[in-house]
């Protein structure tokens, strides 16, 4: 890996799903339940396209495989809420064990070193996930789908997270597992760190092989 050597990093902004907690399977199950009810083909290939985008945009992607007349805005809103109901039912089963110990340890060590930490997630369920997993206290701020108008790759969610931390965008590193999030970080003038499925993304400033390697940045 390559590390940032300017010493300007003062805060870390983390995507939630797929970075801190792996809830992709739960999203898939919820969308699949909705799609099956409607008779819409939905598989892992389609699901991969949903990474890093909002619930509403995800629904539009799924509806590309639908037959029949186009749905109006109200019908789409109801379907998005249906999926979210299924998803929240699954989230209620989350426990602190859903977050790996090495992830918790890394977050604690970053805080001990004086870094400010935030969540920057398009999800409107970030608060519930943090509560169920018992890690809300590790973050100084949360910017999520409830306080933004534009989802990734627009940088709004990360810019608001930086503002909540009281930091300039250039002083923040964003940790992401999706290309849309990497694009958002770069559009916001932030240092982009690719992990997990985004590792190797050419748009990122650095790709990490393990979450613990974050301790080498700053």
Same domain for 173 and 84:
no
> What global pTM score does this model have?
0.85
The answer on whether 207 is annotated among ligand-binding residues is no
Same domain for 77 and 60:
yes
SS3 for 157-193 is HHHHHHHHHCCCHHHEEEEECCHHHHHHHHHCCCEEE
The answer on whether 60 is annotated among ligand-binding residues is no
Q: What CA–CA distance (Å, rounded) separates 198 from 200? A: 6
Tally of domains within the chain: 2
Domain that holds residue 30: 24-91
pLDDT in tens, 193-202: 999 888 889 9
Give bridge partners of residue 64 from the DSSP assignment: none
Same domain for 198 and 129:
yes
Same domain for 30 and 18:
no
Using the 8-state DSSP alphabet, how is residue 213 labeled? G
The answer on whether 143 is annotated among ligand-binding residues is no
Gyration radius from the chain CA atoms: 17
> How high is the pLDDT of residue 144?
96
pLDDT in tens, 50-85: 876 778 889 999 999 998 889 999 999 999 999 999
Of 69, 91, 113, which marks where a domain is finished?
91
Would 117 be classed as within a structural domain? Answer: yes
Mean pLDDT, all residues of the chain: 93
Same domain for 42 and 59:
yes
Q: Which residues form the catalytic set?
A: 15, 17
The answer on whether 53 is annotated among ligand-binding residues is yes
Q: What is the CATH number of the domain that holds 184?
A: 3.40.50.1000
Of 91, 108, 130, which marks where a domain is finished?
91
pLDDT in tens, 152-190: 999 999 999 999 999 999 999 999 999 999 999 999 999
The answer on whether 152 is annotated among ligand-binding residues is yes
The answer on whether 102 is annotated among ligand-binding residues is no
The answer on whether 52 is annotated among ligand-binding residues is yes
Would 59 be classed as within a structural domain? Answer: yes
Same domain for 28 and 18:
no
Same domain for 169 and 110:
yes
Q: What CA–CA distance (Å, rounded) separates 152 from 13? A: 14
Same domain for 196 and 119:
yes
**Residue 72 CB coordination number (10 Å):** 8
Same domain for 126 and 33:
no
Q: What CA–CA distance (Å, rounded) separates 17 from 159? A: 19
Cβ 31 vs Cβ 62: under 8 Å: yes
Would 4 be classed as within a structural domain? Answer: no
**Residue 210 CB coordination number (10 Å):** 13
Read off the pLDDT of each residue in 82-108 and give the average, rounded to a whole number.
96
- Which contacts (CB < 8 Å, 24+ apart) does range 177-182 have? 177/15, 177/18, 177/19, 177/51, 177/52, 178/15, 178/18, 178/51, 178/52, 178/152, 179/51, 179/52, 179/203, 180/51, 180/52, 180/53, 180/152, 180/153, 181/15, 181/52, 181/152, 181/153
Read off the pLDDT of each residue in 121-150 and give the average, rounded to a whole number.
95
Would 144 be classed as within a structural domain? Answer: yes
């Amino acid at each position: 890996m390559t590390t940032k050597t300017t010493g300007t990093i003062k805060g870390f902004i983390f995507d939630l799903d797929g970075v801190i907690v792996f809830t992709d399977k739960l999203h898939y199950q919820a969308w699949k339940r909705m799609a099956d009810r409607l008779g819409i083909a939905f598989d892992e290939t389609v699901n991969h396209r949903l990474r890093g985008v909002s619930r509403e945009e995800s629904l539009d992607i799924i509806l590309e495989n639908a037959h029949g007349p186009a749905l109006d805005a109200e019908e789409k809103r109801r379907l998005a809420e249906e999926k979210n109901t299924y998803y929240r039912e699954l989230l209620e089963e989350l426990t602190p064990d859903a977050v790996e110990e090495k992830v918790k340890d890394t977050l604690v060590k970053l805080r001990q070193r004086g870094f400010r930490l935030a969540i920057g997630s398009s999800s409107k369920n970030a608060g519930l996930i943090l509560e169920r997993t018992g890690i809300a206290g590790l973050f100084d701020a949360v910017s999520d789908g409830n306080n933004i108008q534009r989802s990734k790759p627009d940088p709004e969610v990360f810019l608001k997270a930086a503002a909540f931390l009281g930091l300039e965008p250039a002083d923040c590193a964003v940790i992401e597992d999706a290309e849309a999030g990497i694009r958002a970080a770069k559009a916001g003038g932030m240092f982009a760190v690719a992990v997990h499925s985004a590792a190797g993304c050419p748009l990122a400033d650095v790709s990490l092989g393990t979450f613990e390697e974050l301790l080498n940045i700053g």
